[in-house]
A and B are shown apart, each in its own frame.
Chain A
Protein backbone atom coordinates (compact mmCIF):
# COMPACT_ATOMS: atom_id res chain seq x y z
CA UNK A 1 0.00 0.00 0.00
CA UNK A 2 1.35 3.45 -0.87
CA UNK A 3 1.69 5.99 1.87
CA UNK A 4 -0.52 9.05 1.55
CA UNK A 5 1.51 12.02 0.28
CA UNK A 6 2.41 14.66 2.82
CA UNK A 7 0.97 18.12 2.41
CA UNK A 8 4.45 19.45 1.68
CA UNK A 9 4.84 16.93 -1.17
CA UNK A 10 1.49 17.87 -2.64
CA UNK A 11 2.37 21.57 -2.45
CA UNK A 12 5.74 20.98 -4.09
CA UNK A 13 4.13 19.00 -6.90
CA UNK A 14 1.60 21.77 -7.45
CA UNK A 15 4.38 24.36 -7.60
CA UNK A 16 6.37 22.19 -10.07
CA UNK A 17 3.29 21.74 -12.22
CA UNK A 18 2.95 25.50 -12.60
CA UNK A 19 6.64 26.27 -13.08
CA UNK A 20 7.20 26.86 -16.80
CA UNK A 21 11.00 26.98 -16.44
CA UNK A 22 10.83 23.19 -16.82
CA UNK A 23 8.06 20.76 -17.68
CA UNK A 24 7.31 18.00 -15.19
CA UNK A 25 4.97 16.51 -17.82
CA UNK A 26 7.35 15.80 -20.72
CA UNK A 27 8.43 12.57 -19.02
CA UNK A 28 4.84 11.30 -19.40
CA UNK A 29 5.09 11.58 -23.22
CA UNK A 30 7.35 8.92 -24.79
CA UNK A 31 8.11 10.97 -27.91
CA UNK A 32 9.04 14.08 -25.90
CA UNK A 33 11.01 12.06 -23.35
CA UNK A 34 13.00 10.36 -26.13
CA UNK A 35 13.78 13.69 -27.84
CA UNK A 36 14.76 16.10 -25.06
CA UNK A 37 16.04 18.71 -27.54
CA UNK A 38 12.85 18.78 -29.58
CA UNK A 39 10.78 21.95 -29.24
CA UNK A 40 7.37 20.64 -30.29
CA UNK A 41 5.26 23.73 -30.98
CA UNK A 42 2.60 22.24 -33.26
CA UNK A 43 0.11 20.81 -30.79
CA UNK A 44 -2.74 22.70 -32.49
CA UNK A 45 -2.21 20.39 -35.49
CA UNK A 46 -1.94 17.25 -33.40
CA UNK A 47 -0.83 16.87 -29.80
CA UNK A 48 1.59 14.30 -28.44
CA UNK A 49 0.06 11.39 -26.51
CA UNK A 50 1.02 10.37 -22.97
CA UNK A 51 2.11 6.81 -22.18
CA UNK A 52 -1.18 6.17 -20.38
CA UNK A 53 -3.04 6.65 -23.68
CA UNK A 54 -0.69 4.36 -25.62
CA UNK A 55 -0.97 1.80 -22.81
CA UNK A 56 -4.76 1.98 -22.89
CA UNK A 57 -4.81 1.31 -26.64
CA UNK A 58 -2.59 -1.71 -26.10
CA UNK A 59 -4.54 -2.87 -23.03
CA UNK A 60 -7.72 -2.93 -25.08
CA UNK A 61 -6.25 -5.30 -27.65
CA UNK A 62 -4.48 -7.41 -25.04
CA UNK A 63 -7.27 -7.82 -22.51
CA UNK A 64 -10.68 -6.98 -23.98
CA UNK A 65 -10.44 -7.29 -27.76
CA UNK A 66 -13.75 -8.34 -29.31
CA UNK A 67 -16.30 -6.73 -31.59
CA UNK A 68 -18.33 -4.44 -29.36
CA UNK A 69 -22.15 -4.19 -29.31
CA UNK A 70 -23.05 -7.55 -30.84
CA UNK A 71 -21.31 -10.23 -28.80
CA UNK A 72 -23.00 -12.43 -26.27
CA UNK A 73 -19.80 -13.52 -24.56
CA UNK A 74 -18.00 -11.70 -21.79
CA UNK A 75 -15.11 -10.26 -23.85
CA UNK A 76 -17.51 -8.52 -26.20
CA UNK A 77 -19.57 -7.32 -23.26
CA UNK A 78 -16.40 -5.85 -21.78
CA UNK A 79 -15.51 -4.10 -25.06
CA UNK A 80 -19.06 -2.72 -25.23
CA UNK A 81 -18.83 -1.49 -21.65
CA UNK A 82 -15.46 0.18 -22.37
CA UNK A 83 -17.10 2.28 -25.11
CA UNK A 84 -20.15 3.04 -22.99
CA UNK A 85 -17.98 4.19 -20.09
CA UNK A 86 -16.06 6.62 -22.32
CA UNK A 87 -19.35 7.98 -23.70
CA UNK A 88 -20.53 8.62 -20.15
CA UNK A 89 -17.23 10.17 -19.17
CA UNK A 90 -17.26 12.53 -22.19
CA UNK A 91 -20.86 13.55 -21.51
CA UNK A 92 -19.94 14.40 -17.92
CA UNK A 93 -16.78 16.31 -18.88
CA UNK A 94 -18.45 18.51 -21.49
CA UNK A 95 -21.47 19.22 -19.31
CA UNK A 96 -23.98 17.13 -21.28
CA UNK A 97 -25.92 16.32 -18.12
CA UNK A 98 -29.47 16.74 -16.85
CA UNK A 99 -30.50 19.00 -13.97
CA UNK A 100 -29.59 16.31 -11.44
CA UNK A 101 -26.13 15.97 -13.03
CA UNK A 102 -26.79 12.60 -14.70
CA UNK A 103 -24.78 12.32 -17.96
CA UNK A 104 -26.56 12.11 -21.32
CA UNK A 105 -24.28 9.43 -22.75
CA UNK A 106 -26.69 8.78 -25.64
CA UNK A 107 -25.97 12.27 -26.95
CA UNK A 108 -22.30 11.45 -27.57
CA UNK A 109 -21.57 10.09 -31.06
CA UNK A 110 -18.15 8.75 -32.07
CA UNK A 111 -16.83 9.70 -35.52
CA UNK A 112 -13.36 9.70 -37.09
CA UNK A 113 -12.55 13.34 -36.34
CA UNK A 114 -14.06 16.80 -35.80
CA UNK A 115 -14.35 17.25 -39.59
CA UNK A 116 -16.56 14.18 -39.87
CA UNK A 117 -18.64 15.38 -36.91
CA UNK A 118 -19.21 18.75 -38.61
CA UNK A 119 -20.01 17.07 -41.93
CA UNK A 120 -22.55 14.91 -40.15
CA UNK A 121 -24.32 17.99 -38.78
CA UNK A 122 -24.14 19.87 -42.10
CA UNK A 123 -25.34 16.90 -44.15
CA UNK A 124 -27.92 15.37 -41.81
CA UNK A 125 -29.19 18.22 -39.66
CA UNK A 126 -28.89 21.29 -41.92
CA UNK A 127 -31.31 19.96 -44.59
CA UNK A 128 -34.02 19.65 -41.88
CA UNK A 129 -33.37 23.22 -40.72
CA UNK A 130 -32.73 25.16 -43.96
CA UNK A 131 -35.05 26.32 -46.71
CA UNK A 132 -34.34 28.63 -49.65
CA UNK A 133 -33.58 32.19 -48.51
CA UNK A 134 -32.43 31.14 -45.03
CA UNK A 135 -29.00 32.03 -43.76
CA UNK A 136 -26.13 30.17 -42.08
CA UNK A 137 -23.68 32.40 -40.24
CA UNK A 138 -20.06 31.44 -39.58
CA UNK A 139 -16.97 33.52 -38.75
CA UNK A 140 -14.24 34.43 -41.23
CA UNK A 141 -11.75 32.61 -38.97
CA UNK A 142 -13.30 29.16 -39.35
CA UNK A 143 -11.14 26.17 -40.16
CA UNK A 144 -12.09 24.77 -43.59
CA UNK A 145 -13.75 21.89 -41.66
CA UNK A 146 -16.33 24.28 -40.28
CA UNK A 147 -16.63 26.21 -43.55
CA UNK A 148 -16.81 23.95 -46.60
CA UNK A 149 -19.60 21.74 -45.11
CA UNK A 150 -21.69 24.93 -44.72
CA UNK A 151 -20.89 26.10 -48.25
CA UNK A 152 -22.22 22.75 -49.41
CA UNK A 153 -25.27 22.76 -47.14
CA UNK A 154 -26.19 26.30 -48.24
CA UNK A 155 -25.71 25.50 -51.93
CA UNK A 156 -27.94 22.46 -51.58
CA UNK A 157 -30.69 24.27 -49.65
CA UNK A 158 -30.57 27.55 -51.59
CA UNK A 159 -29.48 29.29 -48.39
CA UNK A 160 -26.92 32.05 -47.99
CA UNK A 161 -23.61 31.73 -46.14
CA UNK A 162 -22.94 34.88 -44.09
CA UNK A 163 -19.60 35.73 -42.44
CA UNK A 164 -19.02 37.42 -39.09
CA UNK A 165 -15.76 39.38 -38.94
CA UNK A 166 -13.76 40.15 -35.80
CA UNK A 167 -13.09 43.78 -34.88
CA UNK A 168 -9.34 44.40 -35.01
CA UNK A 169 -9.41 48.19 -34.61
CA UNK A 170 -8.83 47.87 -30.86
CA UNK A 171 -6.38 44.99 -31.31
CA UNK A 172 -8.73 42.52 -29.58
CA UNK A 173 -9.95 40.63 -32.66
CA UNK A 174 -13.32 39.94 -31.02
CA UNK A 175 -16.65 39.48 -32.78
CA UNK A 176 -18.47 42.59 -31.51
CA UNK A 177 -22.06 42.82 -30.28
CA UNK A 178 -22.81 45.11 -33.25
CA UNK A 179 -21.46 42.50 -35.66
CA UNK A 180 -23.65 39.82 -34.08
CA UNK A 181 -26.70 42.11 -34.34
CA UNK A 182 -25.88 42.87 -37.98
CA UNK A 183 -25.28 39.29 -39.10
CA UNK A 184 -27.48 37.06 -36.92
CA UNK A 185 -31.13 37.85 -37.59
CA UNK A 186 -34.55 36.35 -38.31
CA UNK A 187 -33.30 34.48 -41.41
CA UNK A 188 -30.35 32.89 -39.54
CA UNK A 189 -31.20 29.24 -38.95
CA UNK A 190 -27.71 28.04 -38.00
CA UNK A 191 -24.65 29.72 -36.50
CA UNK A 192 -21.49 27.58 -36.69
CA UNK A 193 -18.50 28.92 -34.81
CA UNK A 194 -15.06 27.81 -33.73
CA UNK A 195 -14.86 28.04 -29.93
CA UNK A 196 -11.17 29.01 -30.28
CA UNK A 197 -9.53 30.02 -33.58
CA UNK A 198 -6.71 27.74 -34.76
CA UNK A 199 -4.89 30.77 -36.24
CA UNK A 200 -5.73 33.82 -34.13
CA UNK A 201 -6.08 31.88 -30.87
CA UNK A 202 -9.03 34.05 -29.82
CA UNK A 203 -12.01 32.65 -27.94
CA UNK A 204 -15.22 33.55 -29.75
CA UNK A 205 -18.29 34.92 -27.91
CA UNK A 206 -20.16 31.64 -28.09
CA UNK A 207 -22.75 32.46 -25.38
CA UNK A 208 -23.72 35.71 -27.12
CA UNK A 209 -24.01 33.93 -30.45
CA UNK A 210 -26.18 31.28 -28.78
CA UNK A 211 -28.54 33.92 -27.40
CA UNK A 212 -28.72 35.70 -30.78
CA UNK A 213 -29.47 32.61 -32.86
CA UNK A 214 -31.83 31.08 -30.29
CA UNK A 215 -33.82 34.35 -30.12
CA UNK A 216 -34.98 33.54 -33.65
CA UNK A 217 -35.39 29.82 -33.13
CA UNK A 218 -32.11 28.88 -34.82
CA UNK A 219 -29.33 26.49 -33.77
CA UNK A 220 -25.74 26.83 -32.61
CA UNK A 221 -22.95 24.49 -33.75
CA UNK A 222 -19.64 24.83 -31.88
CA UNK A 223 -16.31 23.52 -33.19
CA UNK A 224 -14.36 22.73 -30.02
CA UNK A 225 -11.28 21.23 -31.71
CA UNK A 226 -9.07 24.04 -30.35
CA UNK A 227 -10.82 24.58 -27.01
CA UNK A 228 -11.15 21.09 -25.49
CA UNK A 229 -7.36 20.67 -25.14
CA UNK A 230 -7.06 23.99 -23.31
CA UNK A 231 -10.11 24.78 -21.21
CA UNK A 232 -13.05 23.31 -19.33
CA UNK A 233 -16.11 23.04 -21.59
CA UNK A 234 -19.78 23.08 -20.59
CA UNK A 235 -22.08 22.70 -23.59
CA UNK A 236 -25.24 23.70 -21.66
CA UNK A 237 -23.58 26.81 -20.29
CA UNK A 238 -22.26 27.69 -23.79
CA UNK A 239 -25.76 27.29 -25.20
CA UNK A 240 -24.58 24.86 -27.89
CA UNK A 241 -26.96 22.60 -29.79
CA UNK A 242 -24.04 20.67 -31.29
CA UNK A 243 -20.43 20.53 -30.10
CA UNK A 244 -17.58 18.68 -31.81
CA UNK A 245 -13.93 17.91 -31.11
CA UNK A 246 -11.10 15.57 -32.15
CA UNK A 247 -9.37 13.23 -29.70
CA UNK A 248 -5.96 13.64 -31.34
CA UNK A 249 -5.71 17.33 -30.52
CA UNK A 250 -6.63 16.51 -26.89
CA UNK A 251 -3.75 14.04 -26.30
CA UNK A 252 -5.80 11.06 -27.50
CA UNK A 253 -5.32 8.75 -30.50
CA UNK A 254 -5.63 9.71 -34.17
CA UNK A 255 -8.91 8.68 -35.78
CA UNK A 256 -11.47 9.41 -33.09
CA UNK A 257 -13.83 12.38 -33.24
CA UNK A 258 -16.75 13.30 -31.03
CA UNK A 259 -20.10 14.81 -31.92
CA UNK A 260 -22.35 15.88 -29.09
CA UNK A 261 -25.87 16.98 -30.03
CA UNK A 262 -29.03 17.69 -28.10
CA UNK A 263 -31.00 14.46 -27.87
CA UNK A 264 -34.15 15.70 -29.61
CA UNK A 265 -32.11 17.01 -32.56
CA UNK A 266 -30.15 13.77 -32.97
CA UNK A 267 -33.46 11.94 -32.93
CA UNK A 268 -34.75 14.01 -35.90
CA UNK A 269 -31.65 13.49 -38.02
CA UNK A 270 -31.20 10.71 -40.58
CA UNK A 271 -27.93 8.75 -40.47
CA UNK A 272 -24.96 9.76 -42.63
CA UNK A 273 -23.74 6.17 -43.17
CA UNK A 274 -25.82 3.02 -43.04
CA UNK A 275 -24.94 -0.63 -42.50
CA UNK A 276 -24.08 -2.82 -39.57
CA UNK A 277 -24.65 -1.92 -35.93
CA UNK A 278 -26.89 1.09 -36.67
CA UNK A 279 -30.29 -0.61 -37.09
CA UNK A 280 -33.09 -1.99 -34.97
CA UNK A 281 -34.46 -4.23 -37.74
CA UNK A 282 -34.02 -4.81 -41.48
CA UNK A 283 -36.42 -6.29 -44.04
CA UNK A 284 -35.88 -6.85 -47.76
CA UNK A 285 -37.04 -3.35 -48.68
CA UNK A 286 -36.70 -1.32 -45.49
CA UNK A 287 -34.81 -0.74 -42.28
CA UNK A 288 -35.53 0.82 -38.91
CA UNK A 289 -32.70 2.87 -37.43
CA UNK A 290 -31.40 2.25 -33.95
CA UNK A 291 -31.72 5.28 -31.65
CA UNK A 292 -28.81 7.72 -31.30
CA UNK A 293 -25.91 7.36 -30.87
CA UNK A 294 -25.78 3.96 -32.64
CA UNK A 295 -27.80 5.35 -35.57
CA UNK A 296 -24.75 7.45 -36.52
CA UNK A 297 -22.12 4.77 -35.95
CA UNK A 298 -22.43 2.34 -38.87
CA UNK A 299 -19.83 -0.39 -38.98
CA UNK A 300 -17.42 -1.59 -36.34
CA UNK A 301 -16.08 1.27 -34.25
CA UNK A 302 -12.43 1.84 -33.37
CA UNK A 303 -13.11 0.59 -29.86
CA UNK A 304 -9.44 0.63 -28.85
CA UNK A 305 -9.19 4.24 -29.98
CA UNK A 306 -12.33 5.16 -28.07
CA UNK A 307 -10.96 3.42 -24.97
CA UNK A 308 -7.68 5.36 -25.37
CA UNK A 309 -9.66 8.59 -25.81
CA UNK A 310 -11.12 7.93 -22.36
CA UNK A 311 -7.57 7.58 -21.01
CA UNK A 312 -6.56 10.88 -22.68
CA UNK A 313 -9.43 12.80 -21.08
CA UNK A 314 -8.61 11.21 -17.74
CA UNK A 315 -4.96 12.22 -18.10
CA UNK A 316 -5.83 15.82 -18.99
CA UNK A 317 -8.53 16.25 -16.37
CA UNK A 318 -7.26 14.10 -13.50
CA UNK A 319 -3.48 13.62 -13.79
CA UNK A 320 -2.68 17.13 -15.05
CA UNK A 321 -5.88 18.96 -14.20
CA UNK A 322 -7.46 21.30 -16.73
CA UNK A 323 -6.86 24.29 -14.41
CA UNK A 324 -3.16 23.44 -14.15
CA UNK A 325 -2.96 22.97 -17.92
CA UNK A 326 -4.69 26.32 -18.51
CA UNK A 327 -2.47 28.12 -15.97
CA UNK A 328 0.73 26.70 -17.50
CA UNK A 329 -0.40 27.63 -21.00
CA UNK A 330 -1.33 31.16 -19.92
CA UNK A 331 2.16 31.62 -18.42
CA UNK A 332 3.83 30.12 -21.52
CA UNK A 333 1.72 32.33 -23.79
CA UNK A 334 2.69 35.44 -21.79
CA UNK A 335 6.37 34.51 -22.04
CA UNK A 336 6.20 33.64 -25.74
CA UNK A 337 4.35 36.82 -26.70
CA UNK A 338 6.72 38.98 -24.65
CA UNK A 339 9.74 37.46 -26.41
CA UNK A 340 8.18 37.58 -29.90
CA UNK A 341 7.05 41.19 -29.51
CA UNK A 342 10.57 42.15 -28.41
CA UNK A 343 12.03 40.65 -31.61
CA UNK A 344 12.29 43.20 -34.45
CA UNK A 345 10.94 42.15 -37.85
CA UNK A 346 8.27 39.79 -36.52
CA UNK A 347 4.68 40.56 -37.47
CA UNK A 348 2.07 39.02 -35.17
CA UNK A 349 -1.26 38.11 -36.83
CA UNK A 350 -4.16 38.62 -34.45
CA UNK A 351 -4.15 39.93 -30.89
CA UNK A 352 -0.90 41.00 -29.23
CA UNK A 353 -2.41 40.66 -25.77
CA UNK A 354 -1.36 37.23 -24.52
CA UNK A 355 -4.54 36.95 -22.44
CA UNK A 356 -6.60 36.95 -25.65
CA UNK A 357 -4.75 33.97 -27.14
CA UNK A 358 -5.28 30.29 -26.39
CA UNK A 359 -2.73 27.85 -27.71
CA UNK A 360 -1.87 29.43 -31.07
CA UNK A 361 0.43 32.28 -32.11
CA UNK A 362 0.37 33.22 -35.78
CA UNK A 363 3.23 35.36 -37.08
CA UNK A 364 5.46 36.14 -40.01
CA UNK A 365 9.13 37.00 -40.25
CA UNK A 366 8.99 40.12 -42.39
CA UNK A 367 10.22 39.40 -45.93
CA UNK A 368 10.71 35.66 -45.39
CA UNK A 369 8.28 33.07 -46.73
CA UNK A 370 6.74 31.02 -43.87
CA UNK A 371 7.85 27.77 -45.52
CA UNK A 372 11.48 28.92 -45.40
CA UNK A 373 11.04 29.81 -41.71
CA UNK A 374 9.62 26.37 -40.91
CA UNK A 375 12.36 24.53 -42.85
CA UNK A 376 15.14 26.46 -41.10
CA UNK A 377 13.54 25.91 -37.67
CA UNK A 378 13.11 22.22 -38.47
CA UNK A 379 16.87 21.87 -38.90
CA UNK A 380 17.15 23.19 -35.32
CA UNK A 381 14.58 20.70 -33.95
CA UNK A 382 11.86 23.32 -33.61
CA UNK A 383 8.50 22.12 -35.00
CA UNK A 384 6.07 24.79 -36.14
CA UNK A 385 3.43 24.84 -38.84
CA UNK A 386 3.60 27.12 -41.87
CA UNK A 387 0.99 27.62 -44.54
CA UNK A 388 -2.65 28.56 -44.70
CA UNK A 389 -3.66 26.49 -41.65
CA UNK A 390 -6.88 25.39 -43.39
CA UNK A 391 -8.12 28.96 -43.07
CA UNK A 392 -7.61 30.47 -46.53
CA UNK A 393 -10.56 32.88 -46.35
CA UNK A 394 -9.16 34.29 -43.07
CA UNK A 395 -5.67 34.82 -44.48
CA UNK A 396 -7.11 36.38 -47.64
CA UNK A 397 -9.28 38.71 -45.56
CA UNK A 398 -6.28 39.68 -43.41
CA UNK A 399 -4.21 40.31 -46.55
CA UNK A 400 -1.49 37.86 -45.51
CA UNK A 401 1.23 37.74 -48.16
CA UNK A 402 1.32 34.37 -50.01
CA UNK A 403 -1.89 33.46 -48.10
CA UNK A 404 0.40 31.95 -45.50
CA UNK A 405 1.85 32.47 -42.06
CA UNK A 406 3.83 30.64 -39.40
CA UNK A 407 2.09 29.24 -36.36
CA UNK A 408 3.62 28.16 -33.10
CA UNK A 409 1.17 26.43 -30.79
CA UNK A 410 1.61 25.39 -27.20
CA UNK A 411 0.28 22.78 -24.82
CA UNK A 412 0.78 22.36 -21.09
CA UNK A 413 3.76 20.05 -21.65
CA UNK A 414 5.83 22.81 -23.22
CA UNK A 415 8.31 24.85 -21.23
CA UNK A 416 10.38 28.02 -21.51
CA UNK A 417 13.20 26.14 -23.26
CA UNK A 418 10.82 25.37 -26.16
CA UNK A 419 9.99 29.07 -26.52
CA UNK A 420 13.67 30.03 -26.24
CA UNK A 421 14.52 27.54 -29.01
CA UNK A 422 11.85 29.18 -31.19
CA UNK A 423 13.18 32.69 -30.54
CA UNK A 424 16.82 31.62 -31.15
CA UNK A 425 15.68 29.94 -34.36
CA UNK A 426 13.90 33.07 -35.54
CA UNK A 427 17.04 35.14 -34.80
CA UNK A 428 18.93 32.69 -37.01
CA UNK A 429 16.35 32.97 -39.79
CA UNK A 430 16.75 36.75 -39.76
CA UNK A 431 20.53 36.39 -39.82
CA UNK A 432 20.41 34.04 -42.84
CA UNK A 433 18.11 36.40 -44.69
CA UNK A 434 20.29 39.39 -43.79
CA UNK A 435 17.74 40.99 -41.57
CA UNK A 436 19.54 40.69 -38.23
CA UNK A 437 19.38 43.93 -36.29
Chain B
Protein backbone atom coordinates (compact mmCIF):
# COMPACT_ATOMS: atom_id res chain seq x y z
CA UNK B 1 0.00 0.00 0.00
CA UNK B 2 3.06 2.27 0.26
CA UNK B 3 2.73 2.51 -3.53
CA UNK B 4 -0.34 4.66 -2.96
CA UNK B 5 1.83 7.42 -1.55
CA UNK B 6 4.06 7.21 -4.60
CA UNK B 7 1.13 7.54 -6.98
CA UNK B 8 1.06 11.11 -8.30
CA UNK B 9 -2.68 10.99 -9.06
CA UNK B 10 -3.52 9.60 -5.62
CA UNK B 11 -1.39 12.17 -3.79
CA UNK B 12 -2.92 14.95 -5.94
CA UNK B 13 -6.36 13.92 -4.63
CA UNK B 14 -4.99 13.76 -1.07
CA UNK B 15 -3.11 17.04 -1.03
CA UNK B 16 -5.20 19.15 -3.43
CA UNK B 17 -8.72 17.73 -3.42
CA UNK B 18 -10.90 19.36 -6.09
CA UNK B 19 -14.15 18.46 -4.34
CA UNK B 20 -13.23 19.81 -0.91
CA UNK B 21 -15.48 22.83 -0.43
CA UNK B 22 -18.76 23.86 1.16
CA UNK B 23 -21.77 23.21 -1.09
CA UNK B 24 -24.32 26.04 -0.73
CA UNK B 25 -27.39 24.31 -2.16
CA UNK B 26 -26.93 20.78 -0.84
CA UNK B 27 -30.03 18.59 -0.64
CA UNK B 28 -28.26 15.90 1.41
CA UNK B 29 -25.69 16.32 4.13
CA UNK B 30 -24.11 13.88 6.59
CA UNK B 31 -21.15 13.80 8.95
CA UNK B 32 -18.82 10.84 9.41
CA UNK B 33 -16.11 10.37 12.02
CA UNK B 34 -13.35 7.92 12.81
CA UNK B 35 -12.97 8.47 16.56
CA UNK B 36 -9.73 6.48 16.79
CA UNK B 37 -8.03 8.57 14.07
CA UNK B 38 -9.68 11.91 14.74
CA UNK B 39 -10.83 11.98 11.07
CA UNK B 40 -13.95 14.10 10.57
CA UNK B 41 -15.78 14.48 7.31
CA UNK B 42 -18.94 16.27 6.17
CA UNK B 43 -20.28 14.99 2.87
CA UNK B 44 -22.75 17.14 0.91
CA UNK B 45 -24.74 16.22 -2.18
CA UNK B 46 -27.09 18.09 -4.50
CA UNK B 47 -29.51 15.49 -5.83
CA UNK B 48 -32.14 16.26 -8.46
CA UNK B 49 -34.49 13.65 -9.97
CA UNK B 50 -32.45 10.87 -8.40
CA UNK B 51 -29.18 12.07 -9.95
CA UNK B 52 -26.20 13.41 -7.96
CA UNK B 53 -25.50 16.70 -9.72
CA UNK B 54 -22.72 17.76 -7.37
CA UNK B 55 -20.80 16.16 -4.47
CA UNK B 56 -18.42 17.93 -2.10
CA UNK B 57 -16.84 17.37 1.29
CA UNK B 58 -15.15 19.27 4.12
CA UNK B 59 -13.29 18.14 7.20
CA UNK B 60 -9.86 16.81 8.00
CA UNK B 61 -7.97 13.55 8.18
CA UNK B 62 -5.06 11.61 6.77
CA UNK B 63 -4.10 11.58 3.10
CA UNK B 64 -5.87 8.24 2.62
CA UNK B 65 -9.21 9.52 3.95
CA UNK B 66 -8.95 12.79 2.02
CA UNK B 67 -7.93 11.21 -1.28
CA UNK B 68 -10.58 8.54 -0.94
CA UNK B 69 -13.26 11.18 -0.33
CA UNK B 70 -12.13 13.28 -3.29
CA UNK B 71 -11.99 10.30 -5.65
CA UNK B 72 -15.46 9.24 -4.50
CA UNK B 73 -16.98 12.69 -4.95
CA UNK B 74 -15.55 12.81 -8.50
CA UNK B 75 -16.84 9.34 -9.28
CA UNK B 76 -20.42 9.76 -8.05
CA UNK B 77 -21.02 13.12 -9.70
CA UNK B 78 -23.54 12.56 -12.50
CA UNK B 79 -24.51 9.10 -11.21
CA UNK B 80 -27.92 8.11 -9.89
CA UNK B 81 -28.15 7.59 -6.14
CA UNK B 82 -28.81 3.88 -6.75
CA UNK B 83 -25.63 3.60 -8.80
CA UNK B 84 -23.67 5.56 -6.15
CA UNK B 85 -24.90 3.20 -3.48
CA UNK B 86 -23.86 0.21 -5.55
CA UNK B 87 -20.37 1.72 -5.99
CA UNK B 88 -20.08 2.39 -2.26
CA UNK B 89 -20.91 -1.23 -1.53
CA UNK B 90 -18.39 -2.43 -4.12
CA UNK B 91 -15.71 -0.19 -2.62
CA UNK B 92 -16.32 -1.41 0.91
CA UNK B 93 -16.12 -5.04 -0.22
CA UNK B 94 -12.87 -4.28 -2.01
CA UNK B 95 -11.11 -2.68 0.96
CA UNK B 96 -12.24 -5.55 3.16
CA UNK B 97 -10.14 -7.76 0.89
CA UNK B 98 -12.97 -9.38 -1.10
CA UNK B 99 -12.12 -10.17 -4.72
CA UNK B 100 -13.99 -8.09 -7.32
CA UNK B 101 -14.46 -8.97 -10.97
CA UNK B 102 -12.87 -6.86 -13.70
CA UNK B 103 -16.10 -5.03 -14.51
CA UNK B 104 -16.49 -3.94 -10.88
CA UNK B 105 -12.87 -2.79 -10.72
CA UNK B 106 -13.45 -0.78 -13.90
CA UNK B 107 -16.60 0.79 -12.42
CA UNK B 108 -14.62 1.98 -9.39
CA UNK B 109 -12.13 3.83 -11.63
CA UNK B 110 -9.45 5.64 -9.66
CA UNK B 111 -10.88 4.31 -6.41
CA UNK B 112 -9.62 0.84 -7.37
CA UNK B 113 -6.13 2.10 -6.46
CA UNK B 114 -7.14 1.67 -2.82
CA UNK B 115 -7.46 -2.10 -3.19
CA UNK B 116 -4.21 -2.85 -1.33
CA UNK B 117 -5.37 -0.98 1.78
CA UNK B 118 -6.92 -4.34 2.72
CA UNK B 119 -3.41 -5.44 3.76
CA UNK B 120 -3.27 -2.74 6.41
CA UNK B 121 -6.39 -3.27 8.55
CA UNK B 122 -5.68 -0.18 10.68
CA UNK B 123 -6.06 2.03 7.60
CA UNK B 124 -9.21 0.44 6.13
CA UNK B 125 -11.45 2.72 8.15
CA UNK B 126 -9.58 5.77 6.80
CA UNK B 127 -10.31 4.68 3.23
CA UNK B 128 -13.92 3.79 4.08
CA UNK B 129 -14.91 6.99 5.89
CA UNK B 130 -16.38 8.89 2.90
CA UNK B 131 -17.99 5.80 1.38
CA UNK B 132 -19.52 4.72 4.67
CA UNK B 133 -20.89 8.23 5.10
CA UNK B 134 -22.33 8.12 1.56
CA UNK B 135 -23.84 4.70 2.14
CA UNK B 136 -25.75 5.88 5.23
CA UNK B 137 -27.17 9.06 3.60
CA UNK B 138 -28.63 7.78 0.32
CA distance A375 to B4 in the complex (A): 10
CA distance A182 to B42 in the complex (A): 42
CB-CB under 8 A from A211, the residues of chain B are: none
Interface residues of B in 1-27 (CB under 8 A from A): 1-2, 5-6, 11, 15
Contact, CB under 8 Å: B38 / A404: yes
A1 contacts the other chain (CB 8 A): no
Interface size counted on chain A using CB atoms at 8 A: 18
CB-CB under 8 A from A404, the residues of chain B are: 37-38
Contact, CB under 8 Å: B2 / A379: yes
Contact for A375 among B5, B36, B38, CB less than 8 A: B5
Contact, CB under 8 Å: B62 / A369: yes
Which of chain B's residues has its CB closest to A369's CB? B62
A403 contacts the other chain (CB 8 A): yes
CA distance A255 to B122 in the complex (A): 23
Most B Cβ at <10 Å: residue of A375, A387, A403: A375
CA distance A401 to B60 in the complex (A): 10
Which of chain B's residues has its CB closest to A404's CB? B38
B63 contacts the other chain (CB 8 A): yes
Interface residues of B in 111-135 (CB under 8 A from A): 120, 122-123, 126
CA distance A395 to B5 in the complex (A): 27
Which of chain B's residues has its CB closest to A378's CB? B2
Contact, CB under 8 Å: A371 / B123: yes
| Contact indicator per residue, chain A 344-376, by CB within 8 Å of chain B (1) or not (0) | 000000000000000000000000111110011
CA distance A264 to B86 in the complex (A): 66
Query: Does more than half of chain A's interface fall in helix, strand or loop, or is it mixed?
Result: helix
Contact, CB under 8 Å: A368 / B63: yes
B97 nearest CB across to chain A (Å):
17
Contact for B38 among A372, A376, A378, A402, CB less than 8 A: A402
Interface residues of A in 387-413 (CB under 8 A from B): 387-388, 401-404
CB-CB under 8 A from B64, the residues of chain A are: 371-372, 375
A107 nearest CB across to chain B (Å):
38
Contact, CB under 8 Å: B6 / A432: yes
B61 contacts the other chain (CB 8 A): yes
CA distance A86 to B2 in the complex (A): 45
Which of chain A's residues has its CB closest to B39's CB? A402
Contact, CB under 8 Å: A375 / B2: yes
Most A Cβ at <10 Å: residue of B5, B11, B60: B5
CB-CB under 8 A from A369, the residues of chain B are: 37, 61-63
Contact for B2 among A368, A376, A401, A434, CB less than 8 A: A376
Which of chain B's residues has its CB closest to A429's CB? B5
A433 contacts the other chain (CB 8 A): yes
CA distance A228 to B36 in the complex (A): 28
The answer to whether residues A376 and B5 also contact, given A371-B123, A387-B36, A404-B37 and a CB cut-off of 8 A, is yes
Contact, CB under 8 Å: A371 / B126: yes
Point out residues on A near B: beta carbons under 8 Å. 368-372, 375-376, 378-379, 387-388, 401-404, 432-434
Can you list 20 residue pairs at the A/B interface with Cβ under 8 Å? A369-B37, A369-B61, A369-B62, A371-B37, A371-B126, A372-B64, A375-B1, A375-B5, A376-B5, A378-B2, A379-B1, A387-B37, A401-B60, A402-B37, A402-B39, A402-B61, A403-B38, A432-B5, A432-B11, A433-B15
Point out residues on B near A: beta carbons under 8 Å. 1-2, 5-6, 11, 15, 36-39, 60-64, 120, 122-123, 126
